[in-house]
Amino acid sequence: MRRYLTLLGIQLRASTAIGMQYRFDFLLEGLMTGFWMLVTLTPLFVVFGARHQIAGWSYPEALVVVGWFTLLKGLLEGAINPSLLAVIDHVRKGTLDFVLIKPADAQFLVSTAKFDPWRAFDGLAALGIVTYAFAKLGRWPAPPAVLEALALLAAAALVLYSIWILVVSAAFFAVRIDNLSYLFSSVFDAARWPISVFSGALRFAFTFVFPLALMTSFPAMALLGRLGGGTLLGALTGAVIFAGVARAAWLRAMAHYTSASS
């Protein structure tokens, strides 16, 4: 366990060092974060310009969801996407062999290979949005609510990561699927809206199959003090099951892997 923590530290340092080399990107990423925040908020402005409440969510409450969405997007693009996109490349080129012969768990190595430190901007933007939303609501979340939301954040990160591992595992079977990452982010985009906006099949899919509800709506509801204990427990259990399935799929994919180069 300690060995893996040390390894994680080394990988993080390497990524930060690489990030520091592109200082101009720092400015660019900051500007892009602000720009995307505006793009994300535009439909919200228009919709709440016409209505005070949509599907039971007021404007500041919906902003809390957007805040969580921004945070998770930063997490996804800063800590999950870069590494796992590299795996797909490894599989195609056959260079995954070099990872596999290293004396550590391959899933751990490929998952921590690359971080994008500049995405921390998204975290700041998210904090700003959520703070603004609560200031507008005129009340602050209770400490237990914050703890619940943080537990859900961990669960959401686990689920996002697990889905990505499933996608990567698919890359071992069908090689040319680099654009799956685009599909993934395009579906993830729907998470900026509270789950109760969707109805019927979409709502079912976004709650149980591709659990966007768990990622943004549930944490927001927890912060607002509207989430029941049962939902919380269900969400946490679901996340753990997701992770187990992803691990099993990864091991299967590994067993299936026959280097592309030889």
Is residue 245 within 8 A of residue 166, CB to CB? The reply is yes
CB of 97 to another protein, least distance (A): 22
x/- site string to another protein, residues 193 to 222, per CB under 8 A? Answer: x---xxx--x--------------------
CA distance 59 to 197: 13
Output 124 or 180, the one with its CB closest to another protein: 180
Which tokens in the block code for residue 89? 């490349």
Nearest Cα to Cα of residue 216 among 33, 40, 84: 40
Is residue 146 within 8 A of residue 66, CB to CB? The reply is no
Instruction: Determine, following the binding rule CB under 8 A, whether residue 42 of this chain makes contact with another protein.
Output: yes
Per rule CB under 8 A, count of chain residues that contact another protein: 31
x/- site string to another protein, residues 160 to 189, per CB under 8 A? Answer: --------------x-xx-xx-xx--xx-x
Which tokens in the block code for residue 191? 């998470």
From the list 7, 32, 137, 236, which residue makes contact with another protein (rule: CB under 8 A)?
A: 32
Query: Cα Rg for the chain, rounded, in angstroms?
Result: 19
Instruction: Determine, following the binding rule CB under 8 A, whether residue 118 of this chain makes contact with another protein.
Output: no
From the list 6, 9, 16, 35, which residue makes contact with another protein (rule: CB under 8 A)?
A: 35
Output 98 or 182, the one with its CB closest to another protein: 182
CA distance 86 to 92: 10
CA distance 199 to 160: 23
Which tokens in the block code for residue 157? 């990160």
Binding stretches for another protein (CB under 8 A): 24, 28, 32, 35-36, 39, 42-43, 46-47, 49-51, 54-55, 174, 176-177, 179-180, 182-183, 186-187, 189-190, 193, 197-199, 202
